[in-house]
Amino acid sequence: MEKLALAADHGGFELKEILKEFIAGLGGYELNDLGVYAAEPVDYPKYGRLAAEAVASGQADRGIIFCGTGIGISIAANKLQGIRAANCTSEFMAEMSRRHNDANILALGGRIVEPELAKKIVRVWLDTPFDGGRHARRVRQIEP
């Protein structure tokens, strides 16, 4: 069973809750919700870091993070070594983030991506493997 860390700020809280239910319905995933648990304003870097730490330490296999646009929280997550967080707004971006970049965290914008599209993005991201090969060489080049 794949372990997924979920985290959001207030701008991504609602979408996180919708997708948490959606992913649970897919089966095969153990979800660790790292917060937030309400829509009161918080600082996104804290939650991006919590998810990134879970993935980097091996407590989670991958993560999905949420803020208003997906931008800030993905920047925060990408500060940790070994994290490749991709902010995706389409199924194609989600597919390529996995196939070519081996993204281990998906970032979504709660104010940008509608829930039905977000479900499609998540499904593609969860189902797409890393291609390896020449892409593995490139992924190694982005590590510090």
| pLDDT tens column, 35-79 | 999 999 999 999 999 999 999 999 999 999 999 999 999 999 999
Instruction: Specify the CATH number for the domain of residue 50.
Output: 3.40.1400.10
Residues 6+ apart with CB under 8 A from 125: 64, 88, 94, 95, 97, 98, 103, 106
Range of the domain at 128: 2-142
Structural domains of the chain, count: 1
- Examine the pLDDT at 144 and tell me if it is beyond 80: no
**Active site residue ranges:** 67, 100
Residue 19 CB burial class (10 angstroms; 0-12, 13-18, ≥19): buried
Average pLDDT, the chain: 97
